[in-house]
Amino acid sequence: MLQRVSMWLVGLCLVAAGCKSYEEQRNELPDTPDRGSVRVSADETFKPIVDELVQVYESNHPGTKITVDYKTEADCLRDLLNDSVRMVLVTRRPSAEERALMADSLRVNARSLVVARDAIAVVAHPGSPDTVFTMKEIKQVLTGKYKKKLIPVFDGVKATSTVRFIVDSVLKDEPLTDQALAARSSEGVIDYVASHPGAIGFVGVGWVGNPEDSAQLSFLKKVNVAHIESTDLKGSYVKAYQANIYVKRYPMVRDLVYILKERHRGLATGFAHFVSGEIGQIIFRRGYLAPAQKRLGIRPVRVVE
């Protein structure tokens, strides 16, 4: 009996010696939500809001560094198969094929979540009389069949989320006009439209939707944001304002999605929880996007003259 007790005590000591505290295990990780560095790929059309999210997160977690590479959506999705990138911010969830490739080649299951809703804003030259459109007219502009010669301008003619949305959700089975032009970036679209009266630009609302942002205010002085016929009332025209995006009254609304492929609870996981949590959702609301994970209160306002 004494021998059995001794053996049991020896075994217990060996187990205890092999066990590590939570802090010891955490310190062995390459990074955690409050220390280390991580690389993220993000759709270029969301740069203004993602920059602010990163700035606030790093300010709240001084031991972290989040490096964001801004690319076309297609390049971001290609990065899902790159082991050095653990998170991307794009406008769609991964396809079944993309999830299978990650599971097979990287041995990791991707998680995704819609964190906000954005819209494609239409911008025109400040002197242009064409700032009110139906979606039928927008489609005519995009196919080169509009009554006036208006040249559509994009942040690239291939691989960008803006072009994909236009092709998939607006044009559907019709081809984009060969007169369409490509700028190097969303800012390039705004600059081109500002100097060419016959051009009409398509950009993410994150570049022109926040009149409280000094950079966007300077863009709004260069171009006019067009009114598009609302989805709920024929003959009513709305801009890509936050409330119109939230209730999808504005017709060209899209999602902002994070795709996370981290094997441990690291910095990418911490940032993902942040953008879907209360502070991140407040930043989206303040940036004039529509938060997807927290309710946005909309109250009717009566203007008294």
- For residue 114, pLDDT over 90 is answered with yes
Query: What pLDDT is attached to residue 162?
Result: 93
Segment 54-77 shows an average pLDDT of 96
Highest-scoring range by mean pLDDT, 80-84, 138-142, 173-177? 138-142
Q: How confident is the model at residue 19 (pLDDT cuts 50, 70, 90)?
A: low
Question: Looking at the whole model, is its pTM more than 0.85?
Answer: no
Give the mean model confidence (pLDDT) for residues 265-284: 96
* DSSP line for the chain: -HHHHHHHHHHHHHHHHH---HHHHHHTSS-BTTBEEEEEEEEGGGHHHHHHHHHHHHHHSTTEEEEEEEE-HHHHHHGGG-TT--EEEESSPPPHHHHHHHHHHT----EEEEEEEEEEEEEE-TT-S--EE-HHHHHHHHHT-SSS--EEEES-SSS-HHHHHIIIIIITTSPPPTT-EE-SSHHHHHHHHHH-TTEEEEEEGGGTS-TTSHHHHHHHHH-EEPEEE-SSSTT-EE-S-HHHHHTT-SS-EEEEEEEE--SSS-HHHHHHHHHHSHHHHHHHHHTTSEESSS-----------
Give the mean pLDDT of 89-107: 91
82 or 251, higher pLDDT: 251
pLDDT over 90 percentage in the chain = 68
Mean predicted confidence (pLDDT) in 262-274: 94
Show the domains of the chain with their CATH numbers: 31-117+254-291 (3.40.190.10), 125-251 (3.40.190.10)
Q: What is the pLDDT of residue 18?
A: 53
Q: For the residues 246-269, what does the mean pLDDT come to?
A: 94
Instruction: Name the pLDDT band for 252 (thresholds 50, 70, 90).
Output: very high
Q: How confident is the model at residue 305 (pLDDT cuts 50, 70, 90)?
A: very low
What confidence category does residue 154 fall into, taking pLDDT thresholds of 50, 70 and 90? very high
Mean pLDDT, residues 82-100 taken together:
91
pLDDT tier at 22, thresholds 50, 70, 90: very low
Report the chain's mean pLDDT, rounded to a whole number: 87
Average pLDDT estimate for 163-192: 93
